[in-house]
Amino acid sequence: MKKILTEPLLHFAVLGALLFIANGALSNSGSGDRGEIVITQGQIEHLAAGFARAWQRSPAPEELTGLIRDQVREEVLYREAIAIGLDQDDAIIRRRLRQKMEFISDDLAAQAEPTDAELNAYLQAHPDAFRIEPRYTFRQVYLNPQQRGNHLQRDAAQLLAQLNKQDAKTDSAQLGDALMLEPAYVANSLSDITKQFGARFAARLSELTLKQWQGLVDASPAFAVMADELKLNRHRFENCLKDDKTDLEIQKDRAEGNRLGIKSTPTYFINGKMVVGTKSLEDELKTHLEGKKN
C-alpha cells in the first residue's frame, strides 16, 4: 500500500482529477448567469408599452409572446457576439458609446446649475464677453463751413430753431448743404461711428439730449477718416473740399437726385426702374437676366 501511494502515476492521476473538478466548478460559477436568460415582468410591460405606442392598441397574447421570443433571441445573439469579441474595434459601436457618454455628461452638467455668486464671479472675470457696445440712431444736417463762411454760426442757430419747433414738419434731409455721408443712421455701433466720423464726433454723441436737435459738431474729421480709408492724398483731398467747384458739383448731383426721387444710397436705375439697396439690386439683376433668357 505504501508503495502504491508513492507511485508518480497515482500522483498525476489525482492532480488531474483535482484540476478537472476545479475547472468544472469555476466554469459553472462564471457561466451560470450567461446560460440563463430571465425576462422580468417589467421588461414585458416595457415591450407591451412600445407595441401600444406603435400600433395604438395593446398586443394580443400571441403577439406579446412573439415580442418576448424576439427579446430572448436578441439577448442570445448579443451575449454570443460579446463572447466572440464582435464589439471590439467596431467604429459604429465606439461612436454610439461616445454619444451615450456625452448625453450623460450633458445631463449632469445641466443639473449642476451655477449659483448667483458663481455667475457674478465669472462676470467679473470676463466682463468684455458680456459688454454691449453702445448704439446710436441719429439724423444730421450738414452746413458747409467754406460755403457759409462768416454766416455759419448764424445759419446754424436759425436751422436749429427751425428744426426744434414742436410743430415742425420739415424734412431734415432737404435742409443744409450737400454731404457725402448719409443723412440718417439707425442703431449704429459706437465703433462704426468712430470709423466714419472720428473719435471727437463719436464722443460728442453721448453728450447730446435725446429727441432734440443740437449742434454744432465739426464734420471735417469724418472726411479725414474717409480719405485715409480710401488711401487718398490728404493734401489734395483737403484742397478739393475747399474748392468752390466741388460744392457746385455736389449741388448739381443733389439736385439731380431730388429730381429723380432718390432718398438714400445706394440707389440704381435699371431700364428706368429705381432699385434701392445692394440686395435689391442683386435680385433685380437676376430677374432682368432671367427675363432676357426667356
Interatomic CA distance for residues 37 and 143, integer angstroms: 92
Side chain identity, residue 33: D
The answer to whether residue 130 is domain-embedded is no
pLDDT of residue 60: 92
Q: Are residue 205 and residue 245 in the same domain, yes or no? A: yes
pLDDT tens-digit series, residues 166-213: 565 667 777 888 776 778 888 888 888 888 777 778 888 878 888 888
* Contact by Cβ (8 Å): 152, 176: no
Q: Inter-axis angle of helices 234-242 and 220-229, to 10 degrees?
A: 140
Higher pLDDT, 181 or 81: 81
Interatomic CA distance for residues 216 and 3, integer angstroms: 128
pLDDT of residue 32: 46
* Contact by Cβ (8 Å): 200, 222: no
Residue range 254-258: mean pLDDT, rounded? 80
Instruction: Please determine, for residue 68, whether its predicted confidence score (pLDDT) is greater than 80.
Output: yes
Q: Are residue 175 and residue 87 in the same domain, yes or no? A: no
pLDDT of residue 62: 92
Q: Are residue 281 and residue 258 in the same domain, yes or no? A: no
pLDDT of residue 4: 53
The answer to whether residue 104 is domain-embedded is no
Confidence class for position 31, pLDDT limits 50, 70, 90? very low
In this structure, of 53-57, 89-93, 209-213, 218-222, the range with the lowest mean pLDDT score is 218-222
Backbone torsions φ then ψ of 36, nearest 5 degrees = -125, 130
What the block records as the C-alpha cell of 161 is 430753431
DSSP 249-264: HHHHHHHHHHHHT--S
Residue range 21-48: mean pLDDT, rounded? 70
As for how many domains the chain has, the answer is 3
Which range of residues forms the domain containing residue 43?
39-91
